[in-house]
Structures are given as C-alpha cells and as structure tokens.
Amino acid sequence: MAGKPVLHYFNARGRMECIRWLLAAAGVEFEEKFIQSPEDLEKLKKDGNLMFDQVPMVEIDGMKLVQTRAILNYIATKYDLYGKDMKERALIDMYTEGILDLTEMIGQLVLCPPDQREAKTALAKDRTKNRYLPAFEKVLKSHGQDYLVGNRLTRVDVHLLELLLYVEELDASLLTPFPLLKAFKSRISSLPNVKKFLHPGSQRKPPLDAKQIEEARKVFKF
Amino acid sequence: MAGKPVLHHFNARGRMECIRWLLAAAGVEFEEKFIQSPEDLEKLKKDGNLMFDQVPMVEIDGMKLVQTRAILNYIATKYDLYGKDMKERALIDMYSEGILDLTEMIGQLLICPPDQKEAKTALAKDRTKNRYLPAFEKVLKGHGQDYLVGNRLTRVDVHLLELLLYVEEFDASLLTPFPLLKAFKSRISSLPNVKKFLHPGSQRKPPLDAKQIEEARKIFKF
C-alpha cells in the first residue's frame, strides 16, 4: 500500500511525462509498467482499472487515479509542492494551466498530419514567443525571486522547466529574448533531484521521431 | 476587496458557464461584465488584466484569475466544495476532469465546421453513452449515496449536473439507460441554490444557435 507509485502508460512522454517530472522532482521513486500491445491496454480496461478507459493511470496510496491533472494535483499536495495557502495555490494553478496548454500545443506537433504541420508549428512558435514566455518572464521580473510562487519550489517550477526544455527542442532561439527564464532554467535544472532526472539512464523519456509515431499508430490504431 | 466576484466573458456559456454554476451552487452572488466588442477584449489585454490574453477572467479577492480550472479550484476551495481530505480531493479531481472533457466535447459541436459535425456528433454520443455516463452511474451504484464523493455536496456534483443538462439538450434519450444518474439530476436540481439558478431570470446562459455563433464569429473573428 505504501509502496512506490506504479505508472501505467506507453513508453513515451505523452500525458505521463509531466507526472514523471513531478515525482522525480519530489524525490519519489516510481515503477513503470509500459503498455506495449493493444492487449495490454485492453486488459487494463477489462479489469476496470481505467475509469474513463484512458491512460495515464497511476496506482498510488490504494487508488487507481486517471486524468493527468488529478494525478498531478494529488502528488503536488502529498509532497507539499502546491503552495502554502489558497492564494498561492490559485497562482500555481493559473500558471500551471498556461504551461499545460502550451506543452500540449507543442506535444501535438509530432502527431499532427503533415499538411497541417507547418501552420501549427508556426502557431506554436508564435504563442511561445508572444504569449506564454513573456508572461512568465514578467512574473520572474516582478518579484525577482528564484521560484515562481512563494519563494520556494512548487510544482509550477517543475512544469515550467519541463516546458522550457521542449521549447528548446522545438527552436532554441525562442528562449533568446528571455534572460530571466534562461536563468530560471539553469537554476531549477541544478536542483539535486532534477539534475538526477536530467542525467542519462533516468526515467525521463526522449522525443519520438516520425518513424516511432508511425509504428505506434499501427500497433494502437490511433 | 471583499465585494462580489466580477466575471469577464462573452454573454455566452463558453468556458465561464461552469464557473457561474459553481458560484451559484455555493450561494455566491456575482457580477458580470460582458465583452461585447473586440475593443472590450483588447482593452482587457492592454490593461494587463489577462495573463495569457484569454478569457474567462474572474476578479476575486484582489486577484485577476484566468484559466477555467484555476478559477474553479479557487472557488471550490474557498467555499468548502472540494472534499475533506487529499483522497477525496483526488476523486473529485478525477471525476471533474472526465466531466470537463465531455462538456468540452459537446460544447465544441456548436462551433464545429459543418463537414465535421456529423462525425463529431456521433463520437460525442458514443462517448457519452459508452464511456462517461456508465462511469458515473457506476460510482453512484458503488456507494449508494446522494452525492458523488464524501456523502455531501462538492463541486463535482455541480459539474455533473451541468453536464447532464447538456446531454439532455443534446439527445435526451442518452439518459434513459441510467436511472441513478436521472435520480441524481433531480436531486441536485432541487437544492435551493441550484433551483434558483435553474429558474428563468438567473445568470445561467442559454445555448447559442447557429445564427448567434455566426454573428459572434464576424465580430470577434474566431
């Protein structure tokens, strides 16, 4: 019951990666059970383990939690990464939602049909450069602290670091106009638990290439 | 500062309706400032009132909160509609996310391009009938209580009632196989604050028709 959380997902980033990041940053060891065939997924469904027939699913503290945000909220609460009061929590949620929106927008590019790829990539870059990164640069500038909320590590710092690394993968020049975000990226990357997760051999997942996506599409028919 | 929350959105359901529902169910009076022209929206942006240049935005307790989930989480916490502990909160979040997903799927049908409408409507009906409603019928059957979590009213009961009314608008026959959900709908609809919100003249918003959507599309160019 009080063992390690068990994560059920494909061996890929997808909607589980932010959960892996948060557990790692909290210093929580976790086990992964990868879905490798349609039968694996079907069994999870048939056994009643997926409330809405969808993954990610995390077994934690006797619960089988689905829905990425519900899982993140639980982990953040349990490991005291969710602010000291209602107001801090509101800021954390507001910032987190913005980050998840952009993370999703960038993450969807690898699944995007080729005829839409160019337009969607341009939109993602525009949003990154003109909407989201300016908003967070401004937060850091306004309070001059090391962390986004409450002057200590919370979940939103982890989510933002994860996002900045994806932005860098998408187009590293997007970060150039944002010195405070670049400093933030270095700072959070240096925290011991995060540093460990960034090392090769950790449970962090690499980006998939088009061939791997195509293969997965054949296996799982999505 | 401790005055009524002020809601900034279009005079439509959109992503603000679930917030209106939650405030109403909590018995909280609120004021609305409708965005009626592109200039209204532009002014909100220019004045720095929208962190990510998007509505809904709610002014509450000295904050200008954006992002629907962040706003809902804050209201639910403040008005004690978010469960008694971490585990209840996890269930509430898991159920709420499922409800928000389906609410979004149904809500998007209105603004869906005509060539996709038939397929998307069929998908929404299938998900309603075969995924989401069975899941919640099962929750109610599992514990035989009046409310989804913790045997008292929480936010998720409000969200589910809102969703069931949209399902009913969409295709009333979808509810037929789910007696416990139908009883739930009646029960929650009868709560005093909810009953008041369901009466004509409340701040609840009606569905838009195709003509109104087209008109709004011209004005706001979405």
In a domain, A28, yes or no: yes
Query: Is residue A137 within 8 angstroms of chain B, CB to CB?
Result: no
Residue A55: pLDDT band with limits 50, 70, 90 = very high
Structure tokens at A153: 């590590």
What does the pLDDT look like over A76-132, one tens digit per residue? 999 999 999 999 989 999 999 999 999 999 998 988 888 988 899 999 999 999 999
Chain A residues lying within 8 Å of B77, measured CB to CB = 86, 89
In a domain, B45, yes or no: no
Same domain, yes or no: A109 and A178: yes
Give me the domain span that covers residue A171.
86-190
In a domain, B105, yes or no: yes
Same domain, yes or no: A108 and A167: yes
In a domain, B178, yes or no: yes
Same domain, yes or no: A90 and A186: yes
Contact B183, B189 (CB under 8 A): no
Mean pLDDT of A136-159: 96
- Residues in contact with B56: Cβ distance below 8 Å, sequence separation at least 6, in sequence order: B7, B8, B9, B14, B15, B16, B19, B66, B68, B71
Same domain, yes or no: A143 and A176: yes
In a domain, B134, yes or no: yes
Those of residues 26-55 in A touching chain B at CB distance below 8 A are: 51-53
Choose among A94, A99, A92, A64: nearest CA to A77: A92
What does the pLDDT look like over A7-41, one tens digit per residue? 999 999 998 999 999 999 999 999 999 998 999 99
CA-based nearest distance A177→chain B, Å: 18
Same domain, yes or no: A74 and A169: no
**pLDDT of the residue at A211:** 77
Of A89, A93, A131, the CB nearest to B52: A131
**pLDDT of the residue at A2:** 67
Q: CATH no. for residue A20? A: 3.40.30.10
Please indicate whether, in this complex, the C-beta atoms of A93 and B74 are within 8 angstroms of each other. Answer: yes
**pLDDT of the residue at B213:** 84
**Regarding predicted confidence, which is higher, B66 or B210?**
B66
Whether residue A202 is predicted with pLDDT greater than 70 in this model: the reply is yes
- Residues in contact with A60: Cβ distance below 8 Å, sequence separation at least 6, in sequence order: A5, A6, A71, A74, A75
Of B63, B70, B96, the CB nearest to A97: B70
Chain B residues lying within 8 Å of A156, measured CB to CB = none
Phi, psi of B7 (to 5 degrees): -105, 125
Contact A57, A44 (CB under 8 A): yes
Q: Is A29 left (phi over 0), alpha (psi -120 to 50) or beta?
A: beta
E-only strand ranges, chain A: 6-9, 31-34, 57-60, 63-66
Of A51, A53, A90, the CB nearest to B74: A90
Mean pLDDT of B70-96: 96
Q: Please, what is the average pLDDT of chain B?
A: 94
Residues flagged as binding site of A for glutathione: 9, 45, 54-55, 67-68
3-state secondary structure A149-163: CCCCCCHHHHHHHHH
In a domain, B93, yes or no: yes
**pLDDT of the residue at A108:** 86
Please indicate whether, in this complex, the C-beta atoms of B90 and A98 are within 8 angstroms of each other. Answer: no
Count of H-run helices and E-run strands, chain A: 10, 4
**pLDDT of the residue at B2:** 67
The CA-based angle B137-A71-A190, given to 5 degrees, is 175
Please indicate whether, in this complex, the C-beta atoms of A69 and B93 are within 8 angstroms of each other. Answer: yes
**pLDDT of the residue at A220:** 84
Query: Is residue B69 within 8 angstroms of chain A, CB to CB?
Result: yes
How many C-beta atoms surround the C-beta of residue B212 within 10 A? 14
Whether residue A1 is predicted with pLDDT greater than 50 in this model: the reply is no
Residue A217: pLDDT band with limits 50, 70, 90 = confident
Q: Name the least confident of B24-33, B157-166, B206-215.
A: B206-215
Chain A: residue nearest B129 by CA?
A: A52
How many C-beta atoms surround the C-beta of residue B182 within 10 A? 15
Of B52, B68, B91, the CB nearest to A132: B52
Query: Is residue A56 within 8 angstroms of chain B, CB to CB?
Result: no
In a domain, A217, yes or no: no
Contact A96, A155 (CB under 8 A): yes
Choose among B65, B36, B71: nearest CA to B50: B65
**pLDDT of the residue at A183:** 98
Burial annotation A147-184 (CB, 10 A radius, 16+ → b, else e): bbbbeebbbbbbbbbbbbebbeebeeebbeebeebeeb
Number of domains in chain A: 2
Same domain, yes or no: A16 and A46: yes
In a domain, A69, yes or no: yes
Contact A32, A215 (CB under 8 A): no
Same domain, yes or no: A58 and A96: no
Please indicate whether, in this complex, the C-beta atoms of A94 and B53 are within 8 angstroms of each other. Answer: no
- How much of chain B, in percent, has pLDDT values that exceed 70? 99
Query: Is residue B86 within 8 angstroms of chain A, CB to CB?
Result: yes
What does the pLDDT look like over B108-148, one tens digit per residue? 898 888 898 889 999 999 999 999 999 999 999 999 999 99
Residue A46: pLDDT band with limits 50, 70, 90 = confident
Whether residue B14 is predicted with pLDDT greater than 50 in this model: the reply is yes
The sign of the dihedral angle between the CA atoms of B34, B38, B41, B46 is: negative
What does the pLDDT look like over A149-170, one tens digit per residue? 999 899 999 999 999 999 999 9
Choose among A147, A126, A120, A77: nearest CA to B93: A77
Contact A57, A33 (CB under 8 A): no
**pLDDT of the residue at B1:** 44
Contact B202, B196 (CB under 8 A): yes
Same domain, yes or no: A66 and A96: no
Residue A75: pLDDT band with limits 50, 70, 90 = very high
Q: CATH no. for residue A118? A: 1.20.1050.10
Same domain, yes or no: A186 and A207: no
